[in-house]
Amino acid sequence: MTRLDDELHVTGAGTGAGDVPRTSTTPSPAGDPADGASEGAAGATSVLDEADRSERRRDVRWLVSGLAFLVGAVVVGASIGPAGPEWWRVPLALVDHLPLISLDSGVSEAEWNIVWQIRMPRVVLGGLVGAALSVAGAGYQGVFRNPLVDPYLLGAAAGAGLGATLVLTVGRDATVGWPIDPVQTVAFVFALCTVAVTYFVGAAFGGTRSGATLVLAGVAVVSFVTAVQTFLLQRNLDVVREVFQWILGRLSGSTWSDVRVVTPYVLVAVAVLLLHRRHLDVFRVGDEEAATLGVSVQRTRLVIVVAATLGTAAVVSVSGLIGFVGLVVPHAIRLMAGATYRRVIPLSILFGGGFLILADVPGRMLTSPAETPIGVVTAFIGAPFFVYLLRTRKVV
Amino acid sequence: MAAVDLQDVAVRYGSHQALEPYVDRVGAGEWLGVIGPNGAGKSSLLKAVAGLVPSTGEVTVGGTTLRGLHSRRRATQVAYVAQDPLIPDDMSVFDYVLLGRTPYVGYFGAPTGHDRDVACSVIDRLRLGGFATRMLGSLSGGERQRVVLARALAQEAPVLLLDEPTSALDIGHQQQALELVTELREHRRITVIAAMHDLTLAGTYADRLVMLDGGRVVAAGAAHEVLTAERLGEVFHVCVSVDVDPDDGTVIVVPRRGFPA
């Protein structure tokens, strides 16, 4: 009896709220906005006001850390490389090139060209790719309420892989004289088409009411597309090396034009997901509950999936298949900063981008002059870090 | 205020008629208890009112037809507590209750100060003040049930649908949850439609009972009219005796050993 009463403060039906003991209440000040909302609103209000302030402080702290991490990653990414100026001069040169600031960095024009034309596109592209994959992964995980989902789940990567393989095998002779290499475009189109097929297959069987059907449709479509790709490759063993390199993922040789190609899609994905972070929190309580809360579940899910797919398809077709980032970055953020999408979405963008920029640095140095594929590095750094997080952070 | 009119509400899953056309009028502030064996159509009835399953017929709340209403408008009319709600372990109690304000938040908007005040007052009303910042995963079953109720109440809808709200609770927490609903119903004049498993509790707390079997209404009325030993034997295939408390007329259903006649 006493234990329950202590725990619940239930002293019987019909008892006015006035004589119910409260755990921590300070008398509400005269101007309390909650006065009159209901008798006794001050109890939760005062506790929550304090909690609310500390939550907002955490929001700001994390946002600042994320920005600092991203800026730091950009500087590090621009400073380190096999050729070019001494590393400590690069930050100075970067500051020098900011508008309205002039500073003697001692970096020659030729050296600056290495930084600006070779390293910077790579850094910026890495940031865009990391941000897009992480935020898409967070979005997919949110709408499907499935922690094992990554951005390639619905077939974006498999489709892009098939598209690239087609161009590099059967299409090679036809496209050899073309002014632009069609690999990226075809990969992008195939990625989108594959996801569309998954969506329609999922909708046809079991409907889009349940996200689980869509996930399973993804499994089926991906294995089919991969089989076609394997068949093509097996018939054209001479291009296996080229295709394999494409698939492994790379940021090397990126140019500003690559950056220009993916930027609009990444911006769309990032903007749409940022705008839907509150919806993703509603999704956490289930499709049915979300529907009774006035969210049109299927439409919202479609919007989020389309945005995440656009971003994923664009970056996959430019930089190949970079694994691990989209799956694990959102989880690492949940473990560190909390599971609310209010934080997970913006932080996925900042930390995901910064992480991929940093992961690209050892890739250019380790086996120089050859490149270590960035997908290898992301898993190599990311997996132990994630295990460390799992061990040290309380999940609940 | 907000009576619920049900005109020939029927639910069909493929070829299976889960709920035959159902007609009823639940008065404003009334508590309708829906009872019946598993698969009788209780949940289908509630989900049809909540708009979660395709249904035929018409539901009006306080004169407003729900069909064709924008999903957010509908959510301001009807709040629904699922039988087994999904409770994210890593969400705080306050954030969860605040989700009840979703229908009032614009598509790209954020909860306002008023939404927070409503969530706070509901949290206090349900004596959850000390839990507000705790994570849902750290709560006991009874606490979770109250948090789910708080989320539904933060919706401030005149109609509250409860799908077996107490089936996962022990007897003490069952009673506390139902007392809370009673108290809130009187406080806010909420109309309650609740599917319930425990027949004695259903008879005690509901103003009126409807018994469904195979999607059809087999009995309706006050507890002592609906809960008779023969009918329970027929519908539930159970052997019970039904006692009526001579003082306050409470109907008590007591399971007995043996098979129904």
pLDDT for A220: 92
The pLDDT of B229-255, averaged and rounded, is 88
pTM: 0.85
CA distance B45 to chain A (A): 15
Give the Cα separation of B127 and A371 in Å (integer). 61
Give the Cα separation of B123 and B148 in Å (integer). 11
B 223-242 residues with CB below 8 A of A? none
Among A113-117, A182-186, A203-207, where is mean pLDDT lowest? A203-207
pLDDT for A285: 92
Q: Which of B50, B87, B127 sits opposite A10 (nearest CB)?
A: B127
Nearest to A106 by CA among A88, A119, A120: A88
Instruction: Tell me the average pLDDT of chain A.
Output: 81
Give residue A2's identity as a one-letter amino acid code: T
With a cut of 70, say whether residue A15 has pLDDT above it: no
According to DSSP H, which parts of chain A are helical?
2-8, 42-79, 89-96, 109-113, 120-144, 156-168, 172-175, 183-204, 211-235, 240-248, 256-275, 277-283, 287-292, 297-319, 325-337, 341-365, 374-392
Do B74 and A340 make contact, defined as CB atoms within 8 angstroms?
Answer: no
As beta bridge partners, residue A387 has none
**Strands, E, within chain B: which ranges?**
4-13, 16-26, 31-35, 55-61, 64-65, 78-81, 159-163, 191-195, 208-213, 216-221, 240-244, 251-255
With a cut of 70, say whether residue B253 has pLDDT above it: yes
pLDDT for B133: 85
A180 phi-psi bin (left φ>0, alpha ψ -120 to 50, beta other): beta
Of B145 and A174, the one with more pLDDT: B145
With a cut of 80, say whether residue A52 has pLDDT above it: no
Give the Cα separation of A167 and A291 in Å (integer). 44
Residue of B nearest to A50 (CA): B133
| For chain B, percent of residues with pLDDT exceeding 70 | 99
Do A10 and B176 make contact, defined as CB atoms within 8 angstroms?
Answer: yes
With a cut of 50, say whether residue A18 has pLDDT above it: no
Of B1 and A250, the one with more pLDDT: A250
With a cut of 80, say whether residue A4 has pLDDT above it: no
Residues A261-283 pLDDT 10s? 899 999 999 999 999 999 999 99
ipTM of the complex: 0.89
pLDDT for A19: 38
3-state DSSP helix/strand/coil % of chain B, to nearest 5? 35, 30, 35
For residue A107, name the pLDDT band (cuts at 50, 70, 90): confident
Nearest to B202 by CA among B65, B34, B51, B63: B34
Do A288 and B52 make contact, defined as CB atoms within 8 angstroms?
Answer: yes
With a cut of 60, say whether residue A142 has pLDDT above it: yes
With a cut of 90, say whether residue A208 has pLDDT above it: no
Residues A234-263 pLDDT 10s? 888 888 888 887 877 778 778 898 899 899
Interface test with B, best of A49, A56, A293, A304 (most B CBs within 10 A): A293
| Chain A residues near residue B79 by CB distance under 8 angstroms | 292
Instruction: Tell me the average pLDDT of chain B.
Output: 90
Residue B145 burial (CB count, 10 A): 25
Do A294 and B102 make contact, defined as CB atoms within 8 angstroms?
Answer: yes
The answer to whether B183 faces chain A, any CB pair under 8 Å, is yes
Contact between B259 and B251 (Cβ < 8 Å): no
For residue B1, name the pLDDT band (cuts at 50, 70, 90): low
Find where tokens 């009032």 sit.
Answer: B104
The answer to whether B97 faces chain A, any CB pair under 8 Å, is no
pLDDT for A175: 67
The pLDDT of A116-129, averaged and rounded, is 92
Residue of A nearest to B74 (CA): A294
| For chain A, percent of residues with pLDDT exceeding 70 | 84
CA distance A393 to chain B (A): 13
For residue A134, name the pLDDT band (cuts at 50, 70, 90): very high
Among A209-213, A313-317, A337-341, B44-48, where is mean pLDDT lowest? A209-213
CA distance A171 to chain B (A): 45
Residues B168-220 pLDDT 10s? 788 888 888 898 889 888 888 899 999 998 999 999 999 999 999 999 999 99
| Chain A residues near residue B61 by CB distance under 8 angstroms | none
Instruction: Identify the three-state secondary structure at position A336.
Output: helix
Asked if the peptide bond before residue A384 counts as cis, ω within 30 degrees of 0, the response is no
The pLDDT of B29-56, averaged and rounded, is 93
Give the Cα separation of A252 and A360 in Å (integer). 9
The answer to whether A44 faces chain B, any CB pair under 8 Å, is yes
Give the Cα separation of A160 and A199 in Å (integer). 16
Find where tokens 């800026």 sit.
Answer: A71
Residue A232 burial (CB count, 10 A): 17
B 190-209 residues with CB below 8 A of A? none
pLDDT for A22: 38
With a cut of 60, say whether residue A24 has pLDDT above it: no
Do A34 and B117 make contact, defined as CB atoms within 8 angstroms?
Answer: yes
The answer to whether B172 faces chain A, any CB pair under 8 Å, is yes
The answer to whether B90 faces chain A, any CB pair under 8 Å, is yes
The answer to whether B55 faces chain A, any CB pair under 8 Å, is no
CA distance A16 to chain B (A): 10
